[in-house]
């Protein structure tokens, strides 16, 4: 990045120097005209060659000139780095130009202490005057726009607060619905089972088939409700963020899935090192468990699942990737699958509710992390999560023992 900045500064300076050189080549007398001193006397003579007076002026003008150049360079750097995010960024450039020309008038003050190049000093002042006047004129029409911007920021802050409150209400509603619907659902399941047991002999085959459908549908509804409840809990529970061992979180998640791993005879490859991260133990285990269980599940029939977990560090963050040899995900669905109830397959092809990845995304958000999915060239999918490294500055200086994140 620094090399790009230096290259761009050097390139612009060279263009400027070439432009100035061209002007002097076309008008060779210009240099002479600008540098002529006529019968003028240098400022030092006015100061009666008093060394204290001379150095007082020279040092002050130098400091002012250098500071102006630094300020305008910083403004130009800001605009170059964030022109899209800075409103009216051209105004910053105008300020930069105005300030840098002011700086040059002070450099000229230093020069004229010993050399009476007042023509050149005058023209530098003229350029500064033009830049100042242009900036002042451009500033006036900006005032109402700045007020409009302030108002729209206030409005969007109010909207954000309204949205957060509505979101909170919605989460509370989802929690209550998913929690309270479980009791009547259990009653339906209980009565369907009792009906089947008590009247088994009297039931026609058709009636038995209907009962089996009721039982299947209520089981599906139960798993949907329980996943919804889990999703609501991830949003609402107060959590602590602290250093967590990735190794042990992966171990816990793998143990939870041991039955599936045994059944599918999956090959699990954990590549060390697995550094500690800043997270919440419960949420991180749940995230890993969801990703691993999908990696085991979405594999074509007859293929032995191979799941590889590895971690890479960069810029104070740890990226944990879970790569499988499964059916893969078409690029156009890679964002969609993180939505609630979003599935790419029928229940018959691959069982599930479509909430697992929504839980992963919500949990990562709550842990100040990120989640995404890539397609390895060898096929399958590669889900990754990113969290601050435990001893990195990405999470303060690592000395903070824990952080509480409110729902």
In whole angstroms, what is the distance from residue 206 CA to residue 197 CA? 16
Q: Of 327, 363, 364, 371, which lies in the binding site for ligand ADP, with binding defined by CB under 6 A?
A: 327
Q: Nearer Cβ to ligand ADP, position 326 or 369?
A: 326
Residue 218: count other Cβ atoms within 10 Å of its Cβ. 17
Q: Could you tell me which residues come within 8 angstroms of residue 156 by beta carbon, excluding any fewer than 6 positions away? A: none
Which residues on adjacent β-strands are paired with residue 385?
320, 371
In whole angstroms, what is the distance from residue 170 CA to residue 161 CA? 14
What is the residue-wise DSSP string for 105-138?
HHHHHHHHHHS--HHHHHHHHHHHHHHHHHHHHH
CA dihedral 240, 241, 242, 244 (to 10 degrees): 100
Q: How far is the CB of 337 from ligand ADP (least distance, A)?
A: 4
Q: Nearer Cβ to ligand ADP, position 105 or 323?
A: 323
Q: How far is the CB of 80 from ligand ADP (least distance, A)?
A: 40
Q: Of 117, 192, 244, 295, which lies in the binding site for ligand ADP, with binding defined by CB under 6 A?
A: 295
Interactions with ligand ADP, residue window 361-390 (CB under 6 A): 381
What is the residue-wise DSSP string for 325-363?
-S----GGGTTGGGSTT--SS-TTTS---S-HHHHHHHH
Told to check if 352 binds ligand ADP by CB under 6 A, we report: yes
Q: Nearer Cβ to ligand ADP, position 145 or 345?
A: 345
Stretch that binds ligand ADP, among 86-94, 177-185, 212-220, 339-347 (CB under 6 A): 339-347
Q: Nearer Cβ to ligand ADP, position 284 or 329?
A: 329
In whole angstroms, what is the distance from residue 257 CA to residue 291 CA? 11
Q: Nearer Cβ to ligand ADP, position 94 or 287?
A: 287
Q: Convert residues 267-286 into a mask of x (bound to ligand ADP by CB under 6 A) and - (unbound).
A: --------------------
CB burial readout 109-144, b (16+ within 10 A) else e: bbbbbebbbbebbeebbeebeebbeebeeeeeeeee
Stretch that binds ligand ADP, among 127-135, 149-157, 228-236, 352-360 (CB under 6 A): 352-360
In whole angstroms, what is the distance from residue 272 CA to residue 320 CA? 11
**Which residue has its beta carbon closest to ligand ADP?**
352
Q: How far is the CB of 298 from ligand ADP (least distance, A)?
A: 3
Q: How far is the CB of 363 from ligand ADP (least distance, A)?
A: 12
Enter the DSSP assignment of 303: P
Residues in the site for ligand ADP, rule: CB under 6 A?
290, 294-295, 298, 324, 326-329, 337, 342-345, 352-358, 381
């Amino acid at each position: 990045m620094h090399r790009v900045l230096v290259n761009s500064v050097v390139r612009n300076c060279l263009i400027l120097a070439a432009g100035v050189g061209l002007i002097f080549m076309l008008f060779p007398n210009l240099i002479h005209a600008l540098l002529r001193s006529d019968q003028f006397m240098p400022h030092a003579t006015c100061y009666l060659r008093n060394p204290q007076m001379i150095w007082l002026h020279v040092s002050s003008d130098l400091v002012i000139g250098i500071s102006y150049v630094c300020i305008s360079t910083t403004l130009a750097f800001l605009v170059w780095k964030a022109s899209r995010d800075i409103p009216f960024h051209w105004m910053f450039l105008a300020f930069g130009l105005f300030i840098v020309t002011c700086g040059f008038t002070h450099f000229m003050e230093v020069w004229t202490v010993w050399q009476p190049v007042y023509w050149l000093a005058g023209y530098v002042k003229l350029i500064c005057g033009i830049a100042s006047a242009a900036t002042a004129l451009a500033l006036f029409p900006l005032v109402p726009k700045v007020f409009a911007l302030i108002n729209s920021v206030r409005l969007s802050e109010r909207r954000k607060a309204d949205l957060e409150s509505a979101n909170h209400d919605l989460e509370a509603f989802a929690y209550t619905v998913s929690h309270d619907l479980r009791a009547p659902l259990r009653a339906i399941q209980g009565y369907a089972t009792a009906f089947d047991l008590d009247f088994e002999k009297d039931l026609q085959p058709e009636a038995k088939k209907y009962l089996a459908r009721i039982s299947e549908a209520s089981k599906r509804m139960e798993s949907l409700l329980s996943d919804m409840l889990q999703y609501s809990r991830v949003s609402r529970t107060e959590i602590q963020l602290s250093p967590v061992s990735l190794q042990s979180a992966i171990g816990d998640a793998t143990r939870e899935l041991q039955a599936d791993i045994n059944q599918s005879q999956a090959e699990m490859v954990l590549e060390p090192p697995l550094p500690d991260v800043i997270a919440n133990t419960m949420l991180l285990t749940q995230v890993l468990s969801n990703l691993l269980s999908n990696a085991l599940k979405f594999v074509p029939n007859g293929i032995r699942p191979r799941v590889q977990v590895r971690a890479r560090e960069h810029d104070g963050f740890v990226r944990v990737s879970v790569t499988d040899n499964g059916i893969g995900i078409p690029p156009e669905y890679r964002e969609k699958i993180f939505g609630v109830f979003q599935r790419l397959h029928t229940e018959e092809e691959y069982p599930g509710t479509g909430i697992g990845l929504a839980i992963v995304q919500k949990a990562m958000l709550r842990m100040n992390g990120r989640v995404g999915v890539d397609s390895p060239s060898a096929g399958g999918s590669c889900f990754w999560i990113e969290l601050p490294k435990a001893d990195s500055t990405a999470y303060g200086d690592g000395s903070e023992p824990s952080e509480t994140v409110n729902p």
